[in-house]
Amino acid sequence: MDGKAKILIVDDDYIVRLSHARLLSGSDCNVEAVWNGADALVEMERQEYDLVLLDLRMPGMDGMTTLRAIKSRWPSAEVVIITGYPTVETATEAIRLGAYDYLAKPVPPDEVIKVASDAITQKRWSLQQDQVARPN
């Protein structure tokens, strides 16, 4: 992972997509946003993302199904669930499936920035550890 972090926002609420994109866009990140799980997988095929901010309740493919698909096909991608319908069961399942974190909406702007930064830092650290474990 060199240069700018690539972040994908997946949420059916336009305002959420727009606000998260505005918060995270800048010199350190390239941000794209889609409105459902199927579009997220298409976008991931087009370009691998370092971090996915993923809603759970969306039309068509829900967030948990999308999470499973992302972690199956792109296991190094960090995924943060951000949902307006949090439950202990979905939080437990999301973490079991490999989500980096699970947040309940509404999420304050500083928390969105912090979790994104922490997840990207985790990904960079994991990639460095993989390189150390597999010398050339």
pLDDT band at 49 (very low <50, low <70, confident <90, very high): very high
Q: Could you tell me if residue 84 is inside a domain?
A: yes
Rounded distance, CA 58 to CA 41, Å?
A: 14
Domain carrying residue 3: 1-52+78-91
Q: Could you tell me if residue 122 is inside a domain?
A: no
CA dihedral 130, 132, 133, 135 (to 10 degrees): 110
pLDDT at 126: 78
Query: What is the domain-level CATH number for residue 86?
Result: 3.40.50
Q: Is the dihedral angle over the CA atoms 58, 20, 115, 38 positive or is it negative? A: positive
Q: Which tens digits make up the pLDDT trace of 74-111? A: 999 999 999 999 999 999 999 999 999 999 999 999 99
Q: Could you tell me if residue 19 is inside a domain?
A: yes
Q: Rg for the chain (alpha carbons), in Å?
A: 14
Q: Could you tell me if residue 42 is inside a domain?
A: yes
Is pTM beyond 0.75? Reply is yes
Rounded distance, CA 112 to CA 91, Å?
A: 17
DSSP, residue by residue, 11-38: -S-HHHHHHHHHHH-BTTEEEEEESSHH
| Higher pLDDT pick, 129 / 136 | 129
Q: Give how many domains the chain has, as a whole number.
A: 1
Q: Quick one: DSSP state of residue 48?
A: -
Percentage of the chain beyond pLDDT 70 is: 91
pLDDT at 104: 97
CA angle at residue 119 from 111 to 116, to 5 degrees? 35
Q: Could you tell me if residue 132 is inside a domain?
A: no
| Higher pLDDT pick, 28 / 118 | 118
Q: Could you tell me if residue 16 is inside a domain?
A: yes
pLDDT at 130: 62
Q: Kindly state the average pLDDT of the residues 8-17.
A: 97
Q: Could you tell me if residue 45 is inside a domain?
A: yes
Q: Could you tell me if residue 41 is inside a domain?
A: yes
Give the ranges where the chain is alpha helix by DSSP (H).
14-24, 37-46, 63-73, 88-96, 109-133
Percentage of the chain beyond pLDDT 90 is: 85
pLDDT at 3: 79
